[in-house]
Amino acid sequence: MGRRGSSWGAAVSLAIALAGVPAFARHIQKKFRVGSHPVVTLRNSSGKVTIHSWPKPEVQLAADPRSDKVEVDAGQQGNMVEVTTHLLTDNITPSELEADIQLTVPEETELSIHNDSGEVDIQKLLGDVSVETVAADANLEGVTGYITVHTVGGTFTCNQCSGRIEANSISGAINLLDSESSNVQVRTSTGNIMLDSDLLPNGLYQLRNYSGQIDVLFSPSDSFDVTAISMRGRVENEAKLKQSPRPSHHLPPFARSLIGQLNEGKARLIINSFSGTILIRRRP
Amino acid sequence: MNCKEFENQTEQWMEGVRSAEAHGHHLACDRCRALVEDLEAIRLAAPLLAEEVAPPERLWASIRGEIDHEMFVPQWMDGVRTAEAREHLTVCERCRNLVEDLDQIRAVAPQLARELAPPPRLWASIRAQLEREELIRQPSWWESLAGWFPAPSWRLAASTAAVLALAAVTIVLSGRNPRVQPKSPDWLSTDQPELASVDIQLNHVERRAIRSLHTDDPAVGDTLEQNLAIIDRQIALCEKTLEQTPADENTSDYLYDAYRQKADLLTMIAERSGVPTE
């Protein structure tokens, strides 16, 4: 019995080992030595893209295509590193299409990322970042720079980001959390928008959707001037606003609007929705 | 700083040279902020309009490839139907569909020619490029129609028309720059007729783009289609609202946004319409 169990164990181990070989064989790892402020571009169809920074003047690529039908190319031209995935055949299933990509880049790097589906995670970076996806979610954390994100249906979340943030989506939600940006412009059609971040003096925050909910969280010590208009939805406010010196808008009678300022009104907050709900809520 | 002084500095502003006074005025003045937004929108669309509205190189390559492959189609549509072409149509479903589509276009062409006058600069540019590359020769009904459908394939027509539609939307909306032309108080009398032609173009492109959409990842194809439907609903609802309240500038802004998004999305779909293999 013991001998039989042991031989089964060996067979299972062998099978696992054999099954692991092709996946391991597909793993790609490359390093590129770069100067200061390199530019890194990535174009991938599907999969999880993870980007971290490190103090070395190097770009490290680790790629794991899920099948032999996808090839990952990487090349360097001067201070620019370009990573692209190619299909090697037209006959490919969605799971075979996937390639997980990990990039480790110098902290001050300019990034341009295209990933249609899957996920994009970018952490701790000091440089301009551009992300374009169709269905993939984009998650940025600790990124400082000019951040532009375009998704069609993917959710964009920016946590502890600073710099200028521009985000556009059609059905994706947009969440700006614990960030410090003086210029925020976000638009989505049916996605929700959440702004739970510092409103900096002289900062401009423009939030716009068509339907869905827009949530803005504030603290009583915040200083902002707000114009919030929902053409066919609701506007709810928990801030003790005083009258704003700004002129009121000409609106149709069915529209709901809120114009006022909290404290000195140092930040400018412009919120628009067509049929969505706008909630200006005090942080718990 | 007043609006005139800010306008004098818009060039520097767009180049990133922004004085504290300009920043202050930008924050305080809705009109100048709208001006800057319009200029930024134009700058975003500029690559499409640069070099006399040159479409992306990938699109040109695709157009060249398709025209080489389907050179017989213009002659076919002009009535020159060789035995070789007839035989090809019996075996090639793709070309058969193409010829059927073109027959349908020809049937509605007179109406399209009246309703869809493309900006002359746009067509002149595409025509010049096609002529430079010796891809078109003498004008025929095909070429006169090609203002909107310049390539002999519906998929290519969709790609090209998506680029044209994007440019058209940009051109129509750039006319709304408050510095150039104040907003009309009545959407029904001015903007609606202009947008009607854009709408017809986009709907044509949409139908064909969806048919030719080919992605290896169903999640991507589904997302693109679903979001196109979202935009269409948004356009329909905005138009309905504007029929009731034509002077409502907020709703017309949402409508223009939706058109811009639709043109962007159709361009994205056209870029993902891979060359089919036979």
A190 vs B27, B230, B241: nearest CB: B230
pLDDT at A36 over 90: yes
A231 vs B250, B265, B277: nearest CB: B250
Instruction: Work out the number of other CB atoms within 10 angstroms of the CB of residue A65.
Output: 23
Q: What is the DSSP string of A134-149?
A: SS-EEEEEEEEEEEEE
**Which residues in chain A are closer than 8 Å to B251, comparing Cβ atoms?**
231, 274
Average pLDDT, chain A: 91
pLDDT at A17 over 50: no
Is A86 or B143 the better-scoring residue by pLDDT? A86
B217 vs A116, A171, A229: nearest CB: A116
**Chain A interface, best mutation among B33, B37, B44, B250, by max A CB count within 10 A:** B250
Please tell me what DSSP assigns to residue B189. T
Highest mean pLDDT (candidates A247-251, A271-275, B19-23, B188-192) = A271-275
Go through A190-208 and write b for each residue having 16 or more CB atoms within 10 A of its CB, e for each that does not. Answer: bbbbbbbbbbbeebbbbbb
Contact assignment for B217 to A46 by CB distance below 8 Å: yes
**Each residue of A133-176: pLDDT tens digit?**
999 999 999 999 999 999 999 999 999 999 999 999 999 999 99
Is pTM beyond 0.80 here?
no
Q: What is the pLDDT along chain B (278 residues), one digit of tens a residue?
A: 888 888 888 888 888 888 888 888 888 888 888 888 878 777 776 655 544 445 566 666 656 555 555 566 767 777 777 787 787 778 777 777 777 777 766 766 555 544 444 555 555 655 665 665 555 544 433 333 334 333 334 445 555 555 556 666 655 555 554 433 444 456 666 667 667 767 777 777 777 777 767 677 888 888 999 999 999 999 999 988 888 888 888 888 898 889 888 888 888 887 776 533 23
**Which residues in chain B are closer than 8 Å to A249, comparing Cβ atoms?**
250
Is A232 or B149 the better-scoring residue by pLDDT? A232
Instruction: Work out the number of other CB atoms within 10 angstroms of the CB of residue A126.
Output: 17
Instruction: Name residues 23-62 of chain B within 8 A of A (Cβ).
Output: 23, 27
- From B228's Cα to the closest Cα of chain A, the distance in A is 9
Q: Report the pLDDT averaged over residues A210-225.
A: 96
CA atoms within 13 A on the CB side of A24: 6
The reported pLDDT for the residue numbered B71 is: 61
Q: Is B140 on the interface with A (CB under 8 A)?
A: no
A134 vs B223, B248, B249: nearest CB: B223
Among the residue ranges A40-44, A247-251, B96-100, B248-252, the one predicted with the least confidence is: A247-251
**What ipTM was predicted for this assembly?**
0.84
The reported pLDDT for the residue numbered A268 is: 96
The reported pLDDT for the residue numbered A14 is: 47
CA A23 to each of CA A16, A26, A67, A85, B81: distance values in angstroms, whole numbers, following the listed order: 11, 5, 8, 17, 54
Q: Is B231 on the interface with A (CB under 8 A)?
A: yes
- From A93's Cα to the closest Cα of chain B, the distance in A is 7
**Which residues in chain A are closer than 8 Å to B183, comparing Cβ atoms?**
none
B217 vs A94, A187, A204: nearest CB: A94
For the CA atoms of B201, B202, B206, B209, the dihedral, rounded to the nearest 10 degrees, stands at 70
